[in-house]
Structures are given as C-alpha cells and as structure tokens.
Amino acid sequence: MSSSAPPRLWDISPPVHDTAPVFPGDTPYRQRWAATLGPGCPVNVSEITLSPHVGAHADAPLHYDPEGAAIGELDLAPFLGPCRVIHAIDCGPLVEWRHIAHAVDDALPARVLVRTYTRMPVERWDPQLAGYAPETIEALADRGVRLVGIDTASIDPADSKRLDSHQVIRRRGLRVLENLVLDAVPEGDYELIALPLRLTQADASPVRAVLRELLLSSSKQPLA
C-alpha cells in the first residue's frame, strides 16, 4: 500500500441556503420539508425551489441563445480536466488581457478560472462584480481554451444588457462557470471537477466545483 498522501482538494463552491445571494429578480433558494422523521415516517424528505444560477453553476447555451442547447445536452468533457487558476484581484469592472497575461504561456490548459476578489462575498449580492472583457475571452479561445470560469456571479457586468462576453462564449462554443470561490487557491495548474446535472430543459445547473492537486509533472500532464 502506498504511503503517499492523497491529492489535496479545494472546494470552490459557495454555500447554498435561504440567504445565498442571487441576481436581482432571480429565484432564491428555498427549502421545505415534505416529510419528516417520526412515528409514521422513517425518513426526512425535502422539497427545494431555486434558480439553477444559485451558487457555483454552469451556464448552458440556452441561457443566452434562444436556439441553444439545454445544460443536460452538453458534453461533460469541458467541465473535467486540467485547468489554470489566474489571479486578477481588484482588476476593476472587466478582466482585461493585461490582468492575466502574466500567467498565460504555451502550456495553457483548456480551462481557465480567474480570481477577482480578495474575498468572494458569499453572503451578499455585489452589483459591482467584475466580468470578462469580451476581447479576453476571444484571446483565450484563440489559445485553445474551452471553458472559462470566474469568482463572480457573471462573466458580464451586472448591468449589461448586451451580454457581450456571453455572446463570445456562444459564438466560439466555450463553456462557462460562475460564482466560484477561489479565495484560498494559489495561482497555478489543477484538475477541475465541476459536472452539471443532466437537466434536460434547464438554462444552467448547479455544480459542486472542486480543484484537485496535480500529481503529474507539467510535462506529462494532458492539456485537453
């Protein structure tokens, strides 16, 4: 039996509960007990109501494209595999290329997660959230990136009506993760595990997003 320690895990999902922040006007998390343990019932069973955009979540093309696929139709491959966490803390309203260029090289994995907060506000809605500049997503797509993630509630500014970065995602066929908690994650390369539920009609899905320490050397690590 090997005595080596198991790979370290970082849980990058915010807690989900009744007061978890949501986009203004979106459906908050609510839970009620449909059945409770007692003399006539052997189990607790709950019923939940929520927007699929509560907590860490994956957007589906249906979210920003009337002809787009629902989340349950998507290939899971982009949501699982090597990724790079890049810090662009306090970058302002948009993550521009100059904020992440220091961490981009020829070995860039196909998944990129950007940290913008010193501390992600898991307890409140942030109307000043940072999004991606559309040019940044274009440049990442040009380098083979298949999924982008961010520690805010949207890859576009909260008051955007055109959703320019979402439209780049649509046009370039990328996938997106939002509302990640990257506070404790150093810059570097990891394995991302963030699988959406197979919701056949939904525009998004909650994910339990996790980063796992890479044990292979970077020269042996697949980048797909």
- The pLDDT value recorded for residue 9 is 97
- How much of the chain exceeds pLDDT 90, in percent? 93
Report the Cα–Cα distance between both ends of the chain, in Å, rounded. 31
- Catalytic residue from among 57, 63, 99, 166: 63
- The pLDDT value recorded for residue 216 is 63
Classify 90 in phi/psi space as left (phi over 0), alpha (psi -120 to 50) or beta: left
Q: For the chain, what are the domain ranges? A: 52-213
Segment 7-53, tens digit of pLDDT:
999 999 999 999 999 999 999 999 999 999 999 999 999 999 999 99
- The pLDDT value recorded for residue 1 is 47
Handedness of CA 143, 159, 79, 216 (dihedral sign): positive
Q: Which residue has tokens 């440049």?
A: 139
Confidence band of 172 (pLDDT split at 50, 70, 90): very high
> Does the annotation mark 63 as catalytic?
yes
Confidence band of 3 (pLDDT split at 50, 70, 90): low
Confidence band of 5 (pLDDT split at 50, 70, 90): confident
Average pLDDT over residues 45-68: 97
Q: Residue 168 in 3-state DSSP?
A: helix
CATH of domain 52-213: 3.50.30.50
Confidence band of 221 (pLDDT split at 50, 70, 90): very low
- The pLDDT value recorded for residue 215 is 79
- The pLDDT value recorded for residue 20 is 97
Segment 99-147, tens digit of pLDDT:
999 999 999 999 999 999 999 999 999 999 999 999 999 999 999 999 9
Reported in sequence order, the residue ranges of 37-79 that DSSP labels E, i.e. its strands, are 45-49, 57-59
List C-alpha distances in Å: 44 to 36, 48, 138, 201: 4, 13, 48, 28
Reply yes or no on whether the pLDDT at 6 is more than 80: yes
Inter-helix orientation angle 134-142/164-172, to 10°: 20
- Structure-model confidence comparison of residues 188 and 2, the more confident one: 188
Beta bridge partners of 38: 41
Annotate 41-52 with DSSP letters as a single string.
Answer: BSS-EEEEE--T
At CB < 8 A and 24+ separation, what contacts does 65-70 make?
65/170, 68/170, 70/199, 70/200, 70/201, 70/202, 70/203
Confidence band of 171 (pLDDT split at 50, 70, 90): very high
User: Mean pLDDT over all residues of the chain?
Assistant: 95
Average pLDDT over residues 192-206: 98
